[in-house]
Amino acid sequence: MNQLNNLPVFYNENSQTNSSTWRVSQLLQQFLEQHQEQEVRLRDLLNALGDRAFGPTLLICALPEALPLPIAGISALVAIPLILVSGQLVLGFEQPWLPDPLLDQPFSRELCEPIISGAISFLQQMEKFTEPRWPIFTTPLAEQGVGVALLILGVIIALPIPFGNMLPAIAIVLISLGLIEKDGLIIAISALITGITPALLLLFI
């Protein structure tokens, strides 16, 4: 596993590391402006976000379920990478790993652009409230605990619960933003949301 820990599969030498101080919303806006192709691949999107470990991967995977967009049948596609990456966070991986077929699967720009545009608007609002704080919740050990919460939320998203995907997806987005911005307060609030999510979803079963 030590070898896997040091293998950031989707980041490459051409990633935009010079934009490491940019907010995620800025990087997504730049991605839309610079990539005009008719197909979008997850690998390109993650490379555009730079080497920020687990946060961007979880964020991009959860956003389609967190935004109120009419995208049918996407829950399973979203849940698989969420569960996979969350499990790696629990195991203490330093970088997330996703299989090449998933990273290189083409998605139409017509499908992706509304998701990314909606994400930019959402993140611009959330980023006003994020800053590095409460470091006790951003230590490697704490992040492994966060991985357990993310794993539970990923499993919930995979379940066929009517209207049951948005709340756990929003919690994952908030946790991801907390990981990216090193904001322990956001992570703590998101953990509370994770705790009450199963009880709220029982109302829909």
- The model's pLDDT over 157-203, given as tens digits with 9 standing for 90+, comes to 888 776 678 888 889 999 999 998 889 999 999 888 888 877 666 66
Q: Is 99 helix (H, G, I), strand (E, B) or coil?
A: coil
Per-residue pLDDT tens over the stretch 100-117: 988 898 888 888 888 888
Neighbour-count burial for 71-97, b at 16+ CB within 10 Å, e otherwise: eeeebebbbbbbbbbbebbbeebebbb
pLDDT of residue 11: 45
Given a contact cutoff of 8 angstroms between Cβ atoms, the answer to whether 93 and 4 are in contact is yes
52: left (phi over 0), alpha (psi -120 to 50) or beta: alpha
pLDDT over 90 at 72, yes or no = no
Ranges of each domain in the chain: 2-8+24-204
Other C-beta atoms within 10 Å of 51: how many? 16
DSSP notation for 34-80: H---SEEEHHHHHHHH-S-THHHHHHHHHHHHHS----TT-HHHHHH
Q: Whole-prediction pTM value?
A: 0.77
